[in-house]
Amino acid sequence: MNVFFEEDGAFKVATIFSEAESSLQVESISGKRSKIKANNVLLRFETPMAGFLDAANAEAETLDLDFLWECCGEPEFGFAEFAQDYYGRKPTSIEAAAIAIKLHSAPVYFNRKGKGRYKAAPAEILKAALAGLEKKRLLAEKMASYIVQLKAHTMPDELMQKLDMLLYAPDKNAFEYKTLDAAAAELHLSHVKLLHACGAIPSIHDYHLGAFLREYFAKGTAFQTADVPTAPDDLPLAEVQAFSIDDSTTTEIDDAFSIAHLPDGTARVGIHIAAPALGIAVDSPLDAEVMQRLSTVYMPGHKITMLPEAAIRPFSLDAGEIKPVLSLYLHVAPDLTITQRDSKVERIKIADNLRHDSLEAFFNEETLTADSGHPYWSDLLFLFNLAESLEKARGKYDPTKPPQVDYNFYVNDGLVRIEGRKRGSPMDKLVAELMIEANQQWGALLAMHSVAGLYRAQMGGKVYMTTKPEPHQGLGVAQYAWSTSPLRRAVDLINQRQIISVVQNTAPSYPTNSDALTSHMRHFELTYKAYSEFQMRMERYWCLQYLIQEGFLEKNTQEIHATVWRENLVRLDNLPYMTKVYGMPVLKAGSRISLQVQEVDTLLMDLRTKFIRVLEEEAIQEVVLSDDEGADLDVASFDAPVENTPAELTVDDSTPAAESHVEAV
């Protein structure tokens, strides 16, 4: 005797070997013996077991589901009784098995009520289910068609309409995502690489920019308010005229200097900071937008300003104009000691905007000992000497420190020029030290008058923001409150409001323990970090683009030189870019090597190089680095450019992202 039974959702046949009350020992056609439950048996038959299932499946294919559904009625039924009604006679074992197979294969038509028992689905439910199945069938056909198009590097219009979702916010349940995912899997490509191959990403630069804008400027970069501040014209006019020192691309000029030589032999040095706090009211529509943006966003070839142009121009310290400023005056004795400090809110005439590119030739290390002929040479020399004195007072003066390089990116019509500029030049030091002096002295002023402010602090190597005046060990100052870039950074604007309240003896805009102040600080920390990471990502993109532009991939013949940082991590020459070189022998940190550029992928931000040789016949040797070597480098971001700025050095406050790396270490 043979049995037709159900096991694990499938139908099987076997010969009975032995039988108990609730179970059977059976033997399959292959000879394998097993134990099955008695209630799993649907049918016993004596016909030969060989070919039984094939015959039953063939008979099931002839049965029409719609007709079966119409015939079965509403009550619950067993397959054997229904088979007898369907055939109008006692069915053969193959016919009965065919009915069971057909009913079991159509759960949309027939709901299971137990082993071999079913109930017809209600008409309305069946109609809806069949419509759903038809929809799935059509979607499957469409997906198959789209996959063919994607594999041929053609972008279907329907997927193109969901490009933003596919690129930046993938919805894994969406039809478009599943289609792209299936095609990418068949081609062994990432989603973004396939979209690029299909022409859906016409600009890789804009793809990277779009990811940032989508998160931080979802409504666009245009300002939502037409609020235009006006600069006050009733402030006293300073007796001196000022000049600024900035990069040629700087349009938001927020710091300038002046020197007046007094009859008693002292010099009065003025540090003048643009004063938008005098025109932008707290909680005004413009202020609300500023506190949302929190900083100007920099990237090579472009920037997104914190303030609209209409709000920048009344306060930017442009040459030939009189502008309101917050001034810190230093009374400097002949020995460069500071005998007195005064803060004033006033207006000042801006005589000149000096630019790095034109000033460099007249004011550098070689011109410190002889007049270069520049009209501001003597003033610049005095300020430089004062800057060195301030640096020594902070305990950070070190003439033996190895020279370091900053990089400027100039982008025009898709072409990039990357120029290195030695950090710590007389111009840099002059501006940096005077900015540190202003930031620490105004922080002290707020603390002395118990007026709340926002401070940068560093303790135990950790840099953080706080509402309390705490030491900044890296800079060697007792407190450090960003106050010198109010046109480009919201923290500086907030601090300027507080400083002005002290100078003018008025109520501060933010009282002690202000919830608004704490909220702005927390929001700023997160946003400013994201902006800095984005800037570095775009610099990384342009570094890779530069390698392509300069032909380092052509015939793989051009070599690029690099310096070993540690292990297989190297820094490319003349580019702020670090990368890992796999397969490189163990070399001493600082070794000079030559690499072959094998692949540059600006889409995935990937650089693949091959080690060629050690330059200058440097010996290969294994070096164990100490725990603190390279401590300022996050190896996880090994392909990101690293601005190796020491903690004690502030970059020129007017350059893009200035001070963003001040406390990098």
**Is a pLDDT exceeding 80 seen at residue 3?**
yes
Whether the pTM exceeds 0.85: the reply is no
> Is residue 397 scored above 70 in pLDDT?
yes
Q: Dump strand ranges (E) for 356-469.
A: 404-412, 415-423, 455-459, 462-466
Which residues, including other chains, have CB under 8 Å from residue 316's CB and lie 6 or more apart? Answer: 251, 252, 253, 254, 274, 323, 487
For residues 383 and 638, which has the higher predicted lDDT (pLDDT)? 383
- pLDDT confidence bin for 317, thresholds 50/70/90: very high
Place of tokens 């200097």: 257
pLDDT digits (tens, 9 = 90+) for 329-348: 999 999 999 999 999 999 99
d(CA 354, CA 358): 8
Residue 56's pLDDT is: 94
| 322-332 vs 338-355, strand pairing mode | antiparallel
Q: Which position has the token pair 């022998």? A: 585
Cβ(276)–Cβ(487) under 8 Å?
A: yes
Beta-carbon-side half-sphere exposure of residue 646 (alpha carbons within 13 Å)? 17
The answer to whether residue 457 scores a pLDDT higher than 80 is yes
The confidence score (pLDDT) of residue 193 equals 94
- The model's confidence at residue 555, banded by pLDDT at 50, 70 and 90, is low
Dihedral class, residue 626 (left if φ above 0, else alpha if ψ from -120 to 50, else beta): beta
H-run or E-run covering 429? helix 426-448
For the chain, the residue count is 665
d(CA 360, CA 618): 35
In eight-state DSSP terms, residue 240 is E
| Strand 267-274 versus strand 255-261 pairing type | antiparallel
Domains annotated for the chain, with CATH where assigned, are: 2-121 (no CATH), 125-202 (no CATH), 237-532 (no CATH), 535-637 (2.40.50.140)
- With a CB cutoff of 8 Å and minimum separation 6, the contacts of 318 are 253, 350, 353
Among residues of the chain, what percentage have pLDDT more than 90?
67
Q: Is 383 within 8 Å of 435 (Cβ atoms)?
A: no
Please, which contacts does 73-79 make with residues 24 or more away whose CB atoms are closer than 8 Å?
A: 73/120, 74/119, 74/120, 75/119, 76/113, 76/117, 76/118, 76/119, 77/117, 77/118, 77/119, 78/116, 78/117, 78/118, 79/42, 79/103, 79/116, 79/117, 79/118
Question: Which residues are paired to 436 by β-bridges?
Answer: none
Closest C-alpha among 395, 379, 408, 253 to residue 315: 253
- Beta partners for residue 112, in sequence order: 118
Q: What was the pLDDT predicted at 9?
A: 82
Residue 357: per-residue pLDDT = 86
487 alpha carbon, distance to own chain's centre: 24
Residue 556 is predicted with a pLDDT of 61
CA–CA distance, 84 with 82 (Å, rounded to integer): 5
Q: What is the pLDDT of residues 517-526, one digit of tens each?
A: 999 999 999 9
Where residue 555 falls (left for φ over 0; alpha for ψ -120 to 50; beta otherwise) is: left
pLDDT over threshold 60, residue 534: yes
**pLDDT per residue over 243-301, tens digit each?**
999 988 888 999 999 999 999 999 999 999 999 999 999 999 999 999 999 999 999 98
Q: Name the pLDDT band for 454 (thresholds 50, 70, 90).
A: very high
Beta-strand (E) ranges in 143-296? 237-246, 255-261, 267-274
Position 331 scores a pLDDT of 97
Distances, alpha carbon 426 to alpha carbons 131, 380, 431, 627, 639, in Å: 78, 9, 9, 33, 32
- Examine the pLDDT at 629 and tell me if it is beyond 50: no
Give me the amino acid identity at 646: P
Q: Which residues contact 606 (CB under 8 A, 6 or more apart)?
A: 599, 600, 639
What are the angstrom distances between the C-alpha of 518 and each of 156, 345, 444, 539?
49, 26, 19, 32
Tokens of 289: 């937008």
Task: Give CB contacts under 8 A, 24+ apart, made by 152-156.
Answer: 153/197, 153/198, 153/199, 154/198, 155/195, 155/198, 155/199, 155/200
Model pLDDT, residue 223? 92
pLDDT of residue 129: 87
